[in-house]
Amino acid sequence: MKRYFLKLMALVGLTVIMPCSQAQLKVDIAGFGANQIPISVAGFADESITGQAISAIIRADLQRSGMFKLIESPETLSETSAVNLSSWKAKGADALVTGSAVRHSDDRIELRYKLADTVRTVDLTVQAISAQPQFIRLAAHKIADDIFEKLTGIRGAFATRIAYVSRSAGEYKLEVSDSDGENYFTALRSNEPIISPTWSPDGSKLAYVSFESKKPVIYVQDLANRRRIIAANFKGSNSAPAWSPDGKKLAIALSREGLTQIYLVNDDGSDLKKLTRSNGIDTEPCFSPDGQSIYFTSDRSGGPQIYKMNLDGADLRRLTFGGNYNISPSVSPDGKMLAYVSRREGKFQLHVLDLTTSQELRLSDSSHDESPSFAPNSRYILFATESSGKGALTVVSVDGSVRYTLSARASTIREPSWGPYSK
């Protein structure tokens, strides 16, 4: 069986959270959408006062999405600059972004920006975002999100975070970074494996499995105050935590009675309830967006497949039939798609299933894919794979047309989880 599935069935200390200015991950873009929107992002006036290249962050976000063609703009233009939109259209840009940075007396920095449609020669948005200097990259991501939504009709997800586990020189680290791999910090260090990090719905906590006690134990950690509690430390294996949409409960996999089964527990470890009672191994639960159903992996049919059931066990259905080995379910936040890893011809590859039409699409050409996780806008999937012999993270659009890789500079990385929109 695959290593990732086995570790869920089988079976230090906290660090001070300090953001790092250097990127932990390097972005390599390998795919683009078929119908890209030509856009130019001018340099923001006085953006040097922020200590960040605001316009460059916005450009990188838009380019990474695969939905935009960046038209070079060597000029610096504020949102109040007199601009001939027709001339920008003649340069090939259908949209133009201009802006400026202003520092206030209380040290806040205000980013002002304008998005103009050069085809219709109208302004689509004129806004300002204020932030303390340490949050200025987040403000730039929010501007990119606004531009993305105005031009595509889809909510952007640049101003979100990802979690993942890195391993280097025998040390495991649970890392959290911006969605582009920048501005990372270490939430946990351990000489023992850390697996299955998953975000609370409000983005304030991570649940994960740590082997620091020489057995798998589920912890819940508050990212702001760095405190953590044990959510599950029962006899046998405690694995695969998944948050309920209301953030009050966890679906988990326990082997406390023998075969691994699915349980429900409060996020403080209280009120344990058993959800499955099969003669096989049931693991890797995840909630439907409405919180009324559970998706999970089970080998009750002979090999691991993905099932869905109501919280009371009713309406049990098998969902995957393509191939005889399907694991690691992840449901899109809009409830329309199921991502999972399927083994076919000896390769473990990311697939996505349309839950309305039952149409299946393979999204990967690699052979060691793991741990799919949807972006909060349901348009992209983050997953672990291998690149140049090391573990890396890849993001792919749900139609397979857009792809980019986040590779570690000095370590291998796995176990990704894409965080929610901030509340």
Centroid of chain to Cα 11: 27
pTM of the model: 0.92
Residue 188, classed as helix, strand or coil, is: strand
Same domain, 110 and 175: no
The string of pLDDT tens digits covering residues 126-178 is 999 999 999 999 999 999 999 999 999 999 999 999 999 999 888 999 999 99
What pLDDT score does 30 carry?
A: 62
Same domain, 276 and 410: yes
Q: Is residue 27, in this structure, part of any structural domain at all?
A: no
Q: Is residue 180, in this structure, part of any structural domain at all?
A: yes
Same domain, 327 and 190: yes
Of 280, 345, 406, 284, the closest CA to residue 5 belongs to 284
Domain boundary among 121, 152, 183: 152
Same domain, 176 and 131: no
Same domain, 163 and 142: no
Domain boundary among 152, 172, 195: 152
Same domain, 163 and 147: no
Same domain, 130 and 175: no
Q: Is residue 321, in this structure, part of any structural domain at all?
A: yes
CB 86 within 8 A of CB 118: yes
Same domain, 319 and 211: yes
Same domain, 121 and 227: no
Pairing of strands 273-274, 282-287: unpaired
Alpha helices by DSSP H, listed for 101-157, are: 136-152
Give the Cα separation of 227 and 263 in Å (integer): 24
Instruction: Using alpha carbons only, give the angle 46, 47, 52 rounded to the nearest 5 degrees.
Output: 155
Q: Is residue 323, in this structure, part of any structural domain at all?
A: yes
Same domain, 304 and 169: yes
3-state SS, 334-376, equals: CCCEEEEEEEECCEEEEEEEECCCCCEEECCCCCECEEEEECC
pLDDT per residue of the chain (423 residues) written in tens, 0 to 9: 344 344 443 332 223 233 444 455 666 666 566 689 999 999 999 999 999 999 999 999 999 999 999 999 889 999 999 999 999 999 999 999 999 999 999 999 999 999 999 999 999 999 999 999 999 999 999 999 999 999 999 999 999 999 999 998 889 999 999 999 999 999 999 999 999 999 999 999 999 999 999 999 999 999 999 999 999 999 999 999 999 999 999 999 999 999 999 999 999 999 999 999 999 999 999 999 999 999 999 999 999 999 999 998 899 999 999 989 999 999 999 999 999 999 999 999 999 999 999 999 999 999 999 999 999 999 999 999 987 778 899 999 999 999 998 888 778 999 999 999 987
What pLDDT score does 11 carry?
A: 33
Q: Is residue 166, in this structure, part of any structural domain at all?
A: yes
How many CA atoms are closer than 13 Å to the CA of 281, on its beta-carbon side?
Answer: 21
How many CA atoms are closer than 13 Å to the CA of 164, on its beta-carbon side?
Answer: 34
Residue 139, classed as helix, strand or coil, is: helix
What pLDDT score does 32 carry?
A: 62
Give the Cα separation of 353 and 322 in Å (integer): 10
What pLDDT score does 2 carry?
A: 46
CATH of the domain at 212: 2.120.10.30
Helix (H) or strand (E) holding 249: strand 249-254
Q: Is residue 179, in this structure, part of any structural domain at all?
A: yes
Give the Cα separation of 380 and 402 in Å (integer): 9
Overall number of domains in the chain: 2
Same domain, 148 and 169: no
Same domain, 130 and 255: no
What pLDDT score does 132 carry?
A: 95
What pLDDT score does 28 carry?
A: 65
Q: Is residue 381, in this structure, part of any structural domain at all?
A: yes
Average pLDDT, the chain: 91
CB 148 within 8 A of CB 62: yes
What pLDDT score does 3 carry?
A: 43
Domain that holds residue 99: 36-152
CATH of the domain at 85: 3.40.50.10070
Non-local CB neighbours of 60 within 8 Å, separated by 6+ positions: 27, 180
Give the Cα separation of 31 and 49 in Å (integer): 34
Domain boundary among 152, 179, 194: 152
Give the Cα separation of 18 and 58 in Å (integer): 24
